Amino acid sequence: MTTPILNSLKGNATLFLDAIPQIPQGRYVHFVLVRETESFPVFQTDGTLNVIRVQAGLKRPDLLSRLVLFKRKQSSPERLTGRELLRFYGLISSEGPGACVYNDPKGGACKHCPDCIIYGFAIGEGGAEKSKVHVDSAFSITPYEQSHKAFSFNAPWENGTMTDEGATKVSFGEQDHIVPQVFFPSVVTLRDPTYEGFLYVMGNLLRTDRYGAQDTRTGKVYNHLIAVVFTNGEIFSNLRFSQAVYDILQDQGKWTEPLERAAALTAVRTAYDALIADEPVVKVREILAADAATLVAEVTALYQDEKRTAGVLKSLDATTSQYVQKIKDKKAK
């Protein structure tokens, strides 16, 4: 089954490569996102939320303390989502010969599956593959003071109380959580994409909705896709993106606490238009607004269809295996 936008993308040699190249070819597809918190996630290092003090806007030099969503806090959940799907379709396994184990200090990567080749791996002397997915740290639009809340926590006995036979547990504490409706503009880039690689990475972005620490209990985040742009180079940073959005919201008098979703998304689209216009790259194709929404709907429908999903992933698996075989053949010579 073909769909309007995916049909126009599939087989387009200007946008996609037939095979994964060993040498960079200068082709990039950027997924321009806004990550919106929908519960109380925790993005932390060493027990505290990640915060940095930076310039508030591109036009406003006053300083602002912003929450930081480090790149690994973004890429790791998305990568694990993809690995879960590959495991579901029997393309990787966690046990037995050829098993692929994520983040294994003993070097458990299989070194040939879509996850290993698209997102990369490093096993010291056992080899390495550079990630083809570029993700950088994202910064909240709103300041830290407006975007977090401290919550107390406890660990009760099985009977539901903090006391047992006269003894009181000491498992009390307090931890900062990010509140709902905090927005993190973010650009995720896939370098030298194949069509199936594009669908795999985009699927991971759409299907991942838990980020940060304690992701089994909290951490819901929604990824709004603002644009997909194919270029011949990298584009603006996430910090510049957030600062541009801040300026627009201030200029339009849309700065509220919390930010209204519609106002934030509109400002992000406006900021994207302004920033991409200043980038020294060729825009080979740009998918915006209604077309971006249509693309999301089409990719969602693809992942709702078990046969189509299996077909995409098996084709991608064959492509990554061919890539690995070419490297082996080259070394053998």
The CA-based angle 70-74-75, given to 5 degrees, is 115
Q: What is the pLDDT of residue 3?
A: 75
Asked if the model's pLDDT at residue 162 lies above 50, the reply is: no
Domain boundaries, the chain: 6-86+132-150+176-328
Give the least confident one: 64-73, 139-148, 238-247, 280-289.
139-148
Which residue has better confidence, 213 or 130? 130
314, two tokens: 């098996």
| 303, 313 contact by CB (below 8 A) | no
Backbone angles phi, psi at 286, to 5 degrees: -130, 130
Asked if the model's pLDDT at residue 163 lies above 60, the reply is: no
| 226, 269 contact by CB (below 8 A) | yes
pLDDT digit string (tens) for 284-294?
999 999 999 99
Q: Which amino acid is at 308?
A: R
**The residue count for the chain:** 333
What is the distance between the alpha carbons of residues 316 and 280, in angstroms, rounded to a whole number? 31
Tell me what the mean pLDDT of segment 108-130 comes to: 90
Alpha-carbon distances, residue 137 vs 43, 140, 185, 220, 283 (angstroms): 11, 10, 10, 18, 24
What is the band of 157 on the pLDDT scale with cuts at 50, 70, 90? very low
- Provide the percentage of residues in the chain whose pLDDT is more than 90: 78
Task: Report DSSP state, residue 123.
Answer: -
| 281, 275 contact by CB (below 8 A) | no
Asked if the model's pLDDT at residue 83 lies above 60, the reply is: yes
What is the band of 146 on the pLDDT scale with cuts at 50, 70, 90? confident
Tally of CB atoms within 10 A around 101: 16
Alpha-carbon distances, residue 4 vs 69, 108, 151, 292 (angstroms): 34, 41, 47, 12
Tell me what the mean pLDDT of segment 198-222 comes to: 88
| 182, 258 contact by CB (below 8 A) | yes
What is the band of 331 on the pLDDT scale with cuts at 50, 70, 90? confident
Asked if the model's pLDDT at residue 36 lies above 80, the reply is: yes
Tell me what the mean pLDDT of segment 223-237 comes to: 98
Q: What is the pLDDT of residue 66?
A: 97
Q: What is the pLDDT of residue 123?
A: 79
Q: Which amino acid is at 26?
A: G
Alpha-carbon distances, residue 192 vs 17, 78, 136, 233 (angstroms): 7, 19, 18, 10
Q: What is the pLDDT of residue 174?
A: 66
What is the distance between the alpha carbons of residues 163 and 303, in angstroms, rounded to a whole number? 48
What is the distance between the alpha carbons of residues 176 and 168, in angstroms, rounded to a whole number? 24
What is the distance between the alpha carbons of residues 44 and 68, in angstroms, rounded to a whole number? 9
